[in-house]
Amino acid sequence: MNPPGNEYIMGRTSQEYQRLRSQARVWEPVTRRLLGRLELRAGMSCLDVGCGPGEVMRVLGEIAGPTGRVAGLDVDGNLGREALGVLQATTPCRFTFTDGNVETLEEIPGAPFDVTYARITLVHVRDPIAVLRKMYAWTKPGGYIVVQEYDNCSLTVYPEWPGMVELEKVLGGVYAKAGRDQFLGRKLPTCFDEAGIGPPDGSEVASELGPFSQYGPMCKAVYSSLLPIALKTGITSGADSEAYFREVEKALSESKYTVLFPLLVGVWKRKPA
Ligand SMILES: C[S@@+](CC[C@H](N)C(=O)[O-])C[C@H]1O[C@@H](n2cnc3c(N)ncnc32)[C@H](O)[C@@H]1O
């Protein structure tokens, strides 16, 4: 295993890919709402940085239509190519995919774009400011840079749930070990400024609230994806993780708890024409 700092902390398992698709379903209405606030049009060109399973590429493709184009970029080539195959077969738009690391890539085919977009990607890179700078350089004058990122400040299970301490320990512990910022969402305006983009033109901040039966499985899936690093680096133990999974099962059988999701903070800026 690579040292923390160089790896994708959620791992690359089929369970994690499934979790990414479930997560995308949760946030699709929020992303659509955010994109609906911009002056987007058929025929536009878009780039989705860290496109993962391609769910936002699909949404962008629906807006851009058959005369538009949507490029995906992801360091996970297998996931991106699979997404590309599905998109090309189902959504009338011109889709492409680049297998690459946004931190080391200097150029991307198709740049500049009318929209450069990233969701829950900056939190996984070493230098989010450098990536923002790059995204802005790949944006056409008059085009948009749009970013949505997590801020874990709101993550709560109510009433007090015995599994929460372990979830926070592993979530906070792995992020810190890897040098990732679990409160990046609130810092996006500052990050835009630091990257030379200037203050965002607007923001869209959202969360989700639902019964444990609906969102408890996500608490389990996030924890499970982080667990290999947490065990390897001594953030948690086998016994603590087994106790956590027991608490999840107990809560799922009790219908007494409510889960409040992390915030998804979205910001955008239109590049001067
Ligand atoms: C949490 S997923 C989000 C996927 C997608 N944006 C979404 O919201 O559904 C983060 C994605 O960023 C990709 N990623 C992480 N670091 C990257 C990098 N340095 N360059 C390109 N992609 C990266 C991961 O492979 C993963 O697919």
Q: Say how many Å lie between the CA of residue 243 and the centre of ligand 1.
A: 30
CA distance 96 to 85: 10
Taking CA atoms, 226 is separated from 4, 237, 269, in Å, by: 12, 13, 33
- pLDDT value of position 40: 97
Q: Residue 70's domain is classified under what CATH number? A: 3.40.50.150
Tens-level pLDDT at each residue, the chain (273 residues): 333 445 788 888 889 899 999 999 999 999 999 999 999 999 999 999 999 999 999 999 999 999 999 999 999 999 999 999 999 999 999 999 999 999 999 999 999 999 999 999 999 999 999 999 999 999 999 999 999 999 999 999 999 999 999 999 999 999 999 999 999 999 999 999 999 999 999 999 999 999 999 999 999 999 999 999 999 999 999 999 999 999 999 999 998 999 999 999 999 999 999
Instruction: Write out the DSSP string of 216-232.
Output: HHHHHHHHHHHHHHHHH
Residues with CB under 6 A from ligand 1: 8, 20, 24, 50-52, 55-56, 73-76, 79, 101-103, 119-121, 124-125
Which is the closest atom of ligand 1 to the Cα of 23? Answer: 9
Taking CA atoms, 44 is separated from 31, 54, 75, 112, 153, in Å, by: 17, 17, 24, 11, 35
Which is the closest atom of ligand 1 to the Cα of 105? Answer: 20
Residue numbers of the domain that contains 179: 14-270
Residue 2: inside a domain: no
CA distance 257 to 164: 12
Number of domains observed in the structure of the chain = 1
Q: Could you tell me the pTM of the whole model?
A: 0.95
Which is the closest atom of ligand 1 to the Cα of 52? Answer: 27
Residue 118: inside a domain: yes
With tokens 């001594």, the residue in question is 234
Q: Say how many Å lie between the CA of residue 121 and the centre of ligand 1.
A: 5
Q: Say how many Å lie between the CA of residue 104 and the centre of ligand 1.
A: 14
User: Is the peptide bond between 112 and the residue preceding it cis, with omega within 30 degrees of 0?
Assistant: yes
Residue 3: inside a domain: no
- pLDDT value of position 6: 54
Residue 8: inside a domain: no
Query: What tokens appear for 130 in the block?
Result: 């450098």
Measured in degrees and rounded to the nearest 5, phi and psi for residue 38 equal -100, 160
- Best residue among 16, 73, 82, 121 to mutate for probing ligand 1, ranked by most atoms within 8 Å of CB: 121
Residue 193: inside a domain: yes
User: Is the peptide bond between 159 and the residue preceding it cis, with omega within 30 degrees of 0?
Assistant: yes
Residue 22: inside a domain: yes
- pLDDT value of position 8: 81
- pLDDT value of position 10: 87
Pairing of strands 139-151, 113-119: parallel
Residue 6: inside a domain: no
- pLDDT value of position 11: 86
Residue 9: inside a domain: no
